[in-house]
Amino acid sequence: MSCKSNPSNVCCGGKCATTISNNLLLWKDAKKSGITLLSILSFLLLIKYVNLISLFFRLSTFLLLISAIAEYTGKILTGTGFVTKFKPEKYKFSIGKIADYYAPHFVTILKKIEIKVEDLYTSVDIESTLKFGGISFLLYKLTSTFSIWSLIFFSTILSFSVPPIYLSNKEIIDKNIIKIVDLSKVKINETYKIVDEKFGPQINKIKDSTAPVLKLIQSKLPVRTAGTTVGETTKEPISVATTSSAVPNSTSASSKIPSTTTPEVSEVDFNALGEKLKQEAQEATANASIYTREKVDAPKSL
């Protein structure tokens, strides 16, 4: 089924092109597949070894001169140009008509491709994005090693030769692929065991030796909780010391005192609090020893 068989010209979303390409690659019609393969390879060889642009302008020059001479000669001899007299009223092959017919299909398929590409680059499906990232890296290596023409030429040959070979030997190929996969899994497990036996003790020693350093680094790092945000400093509550004598009994005086709101503390960092208390205790001990030394060394009063 092709898109041309649809009289309403409603795009099938590329299903017709997929069906046609599958039929060609699987050689369901050997004649069409052979003609298509030879046409593609001939065109690739032509653009490889022939300057098509120069050839086009050269042929156009001769055709235009011949057309002008024939038209002018016909008008002189018969009053009507030979080109005007013999040219067909309607052309069977019209690029404009073909473009008008296939333009809606091309636009519909292009929109679908655009949506798929946007989903890949915006990581809508992370697994698909990673897969195409690997494919992109592989294509980067191939295009940096081989020319685009070489890749297209050999890809065309493989596309027309691999599918029929696979279908004719499907059972044998599938069994061999399963064997290779199982064998690779066994080899990977054996390699992992050998590496673990040889380097396992050294890795454990490195982990044990670096464990205190990692714990020290983790203790110095700020602890982020659900109630805190990055770049936000914790406000300490302001303690207001009041005595019973400092507070007047009159209600008018108490109304003048501004009310202080205690800021909300989302969560207490006990590590930082312990370090702060330890530092204050050390400072208090140092101050007490200095005060005692000054008192002992002071001269006797007269």
User: Which range among 52-66, 77-91, 128-142 shows the weakest confidence by mean pLDDT?
Assistant: 77-91
Based on the domain organization, do 104 and 148 belong to the same domain? yes
Q: DSSP for 166-188, please give it.
A: HHHTHHHHHHHHHHHHHHHHHHH
- Predicted local confidence at residue 302, as pLDDT: 43
Can you tell me the mean pLDDT for 106-115?
Answer: 88
Based on the domain organization, do 114 and 199 belong to the same domain? no
- Predicted local confidence at residue 279, as pLDDT: 79
- Predicted local confidence at residue 258, as pLDDT: 45
Based on the domain organization, do 136 and 215 belong to the same domain? no
Q: What is the CA radius of gyration of the chain?
A: 43
Q: Does 264 score more than 90 pLDDT?
A: no
- Whole-number Å distance between alpha carbons of 23 and 33: 8
- Predicted local confidence at residue 268, as pLDDT: 54
**End-of-domain residue from the set 126, 145, 168:** 168
Can you tell me the mean pLDDT for 254-261?
Answer: 45
Which pLDDT band holds residue 289 (cuts at 50, 70, 90)?
low
- What does the mean pLDDT of the chain come to? 76
The answer to whether residue 273 is domain-embedded is no
- Predicted local confidence at residue 287, as pLDDT: 64
Which pLDDT band holds residue 8 (cuts at 50, 70, 90)?
low
Based on the domain organization, do 141 and 185 belong to the same domain? no
Based on the domain organization, do 103 and 145 belong to the same domain? yes
Q: Does 141 score more than 80 pLDDT?
A: yes
Which pLDDT band holds residue 13 (cuts at 50, 70, 90)?
low
The answer to whether residue 192 is domain-embedded is yes
Count of structural domains within the chain: 2
Based on the domain organization, do 193 and 95 belong to the same domain? no
Can you tell me the mean pLDDT for 261-287?
Answer: 66
3-state per-residue secondary structure call for 189-205: HHHHHHHHHHHHHHHHH
Q: Does 146 score more than 70 pLDDT?
A: yes
Dihedral sign (CA 49, 51, 55, 58): negative
Contact 40, 156 (CB under 8 A): yes
Nearest to 14 by CA among 110, 120, 156: 110
- Predicted local confidence at residue 246, as pLDDT: 39
Span 18-43, pLDDT tens digits: 777 888 888 888 899 899 999 999 99
Q: Does 108 score more than 90 pLDDT?
A: no
The answer to whether residue 118 is domain-embedded is yes
The answer to whether residue 13 is domain-embedded is yes
Please indicate whether residue 118 or residue 234 has the higher confidence score (pLDDT). 118
Percentage of the chain exceeding pLDDT 70: 70
The answer to whether residue 123 is domain-embedded is yes
Q: DSSP for 79-141, please give it.
A: SS-HHHHHS-SS-S--HHHHHHHHHHHHHHHHHHHHHHHHHHHTTSSHHHHHHHHHHHHHHHH
- Whole-number Å distance between alpha carbons of 72 and 145: 56
Which pLDDT band holds residue 10 (cuts at 50, 70, 90)?
low
Based on the domain organization, do 26 and 155 belong to the same domain? yes
Range of the structural domain that residue 188 is part of: 170-221
Span 202-251, pLDDT tens digits: 887 787 777 777 777 777 666 555 455 444 444 444 444 444 443 444 44
The answer to whether residue 255 is domain-embedded is no
User: Which range among 129-143, 188-202, 227-241, 270-284 shows the weakest confidence by mean pLDDT?
Assistant: 227-241
The answer to whether residue 37 is domain-embedded is yes
The answer to whether residue 19 is domain-embedded is yes
Span 151-189, pLDDT tens digits: 999 999 999 988 888 888 888 988 888 999 989 888 898
